[in-house]
Structure 1
């Protein structure tokens, strides 16, 4: 497989990994409806191709991994129904990524805020550039995480730390994220070849055995109703989305 460039996603197979790059650098790789569809396509490809052992996700450019949802596109959504359609669509992508039967890795090459952190939380392992800016800042816009990322964070982090990050909406240093074990390791700068070297210890063994461990985790999540909890999170965010506090926060942001 050579490199493929969709309009807002780039992907290529490097070694035994599918390397997927969010490719909207002009808006800090913000997620829009088109990106949702193309992400789903790339994740599906990783799951179906037996020659692919893992999916690696990163962002285009030097500034951002993902700045969350594209408010330039989503600011037109005002009602519960409109918001829920968008939120549920992307939540399904996060479920697809989290429940991918193969390991997934996120290389946070720059800012990851709001929905960008939700997307990172859906991956199995995360690495981040030392100076990356991180934060679940949705509460600052009078909403919750809306793609299911809050539920994922509570699965992957100590609940007290997760609640602090979600409720305070503050920015988090990469050092703190490493200490909290949300980030596996920090890096200054890496090439794609070096990224493959960092991923190799996780995938070098028999893929059937590696995938069996991922299946154990997926069974746990299914038995605890994680997909249903993520959908409830979507609903709660959609309720808050149409409230004046959120609509006013979005207007202030767009006016900057």
Structure 2
């Protein structure tokens, strides 16, 4: 995968597996990046040299701009639509089933699938300017695939607010108060220090105890393989609508 098309890299140091994803367009998530990210997360769960996982994105701008509009507008049939949204399902299920605890570092604004990644983290740190938005309904799709992860973390009421108010950003304090973020920091240096401190702490903890804790934390999500596939089918159908195609064309013309 060339860097122009995005990248996913894994580094391992002192029992900490750090996964960094990147795309030149705001760390957006095209299908190839999604599948590589899912594969990499799964591999960390199978690697005995890794005790804890950190997921982050590159740069100082957006943490994640969500789905790739270039790929969305290129989808021409239902199988292609389902396949694209299954990429998000694969990432969330990889995070859910990974035997290692996962820390997510959110350094900037995040949209759609990026909110799903933040929600699927077992512990999520963020920077103060890390506002969030579930913009899918505005596109004519709806946050169907990421919905179970976000609702699990923040509850139905807050998830409803984010889902319905799809045009507006919600700030990091809202995300913190509603449980999406566990801690928020003013400066990048403070954020990185907190991530490192918790990762180091967990790297020295009992792998068996952390594995069993993860299973307890995710109890009730055992049906997600089927559930998220069903949600991908909904999104794969809706993305073909004239409403969605017209919205994306207008958005790309403005940007």
The match for 2:58 is 60
* CA apart distance, 1:34: 2.2
Contact 2:16–2:199 (CA under 8 A) maintained in structure 1: no
Cα RMSD over matched residues? 2.0
Please list, as runs of the form range in 1=range in 2, the aligned pairs for 1:112-191 lying within 5 A after superposition: 112-146=110-144, 148-169=145-166, 170-187=168-185, 188-190=187-189
Partner of 1:118, secondary structure, is: helix
Partner of 1:181, secondary structure, is: coil
Contact 1:101–1:211 (CA under 8 A) maintained in structure 2: yes
33 and 14 in structure 1: CA distance in 2 versus 1, 3 angstrom threshold: same
The match for 1:208 is 208
* CA apart distance, 1:48: 1.0
Stretch deviating more after TM superposition (136-145 or 182-191): 182-191
229 and 103 in structure 1: CA distance in 2 versus 1, 3 angstrom threshold: same
The match for 1:14 is 13
Q: 2:85 aligns with which of 84, 87, 101?
A: 87
Partner of 2:176, secondary structure, is: helix
Partner of 1:155, secondary structure, is: helix
Contact 1:22–1:65 (CA under 8 A) maintained in structure 2: no
Contact 2:14–2:203 (CA under 8 A) maintained in structure 1: no
Contact 1:31–1:70 (CA under 8 A) maintained in structure 2: yes
Please list, as runs of the form range in 1=range in 2, the aligned pairs for 1:228-247 lying within 5 A after superposition: 228-247=226-245
Contact 1:20–1:56 (CA under 8 A) maintained in structure 2: yes
* CA apart distance, 1:67: 0.5
Partner of 1:253, secondary structure, is: helix
The match for 2:33 is 35
**Deviations along 1:169-224, whole A, 9 cap, x unmatched?**
231100111111110011221375552103344554211111111122344311xx
251 and 235 in structure 1: CA distance in 2 versus 1, 3 angstrom threshold: same
Q: TM-score, normalised by structure 2?
A: 0.89
Contact 1:110–1:132 (CA under 8 A) maintained in structure 2: yes
Stretch deviating more after TM superposition (101-110 or 196-205): 196-205
Question: In 2, Cα distance between the equivalents of 1:253 and 1:75?
Answer: 11
Q: Which runs of 5+ in 1 are unaligned?
A: none
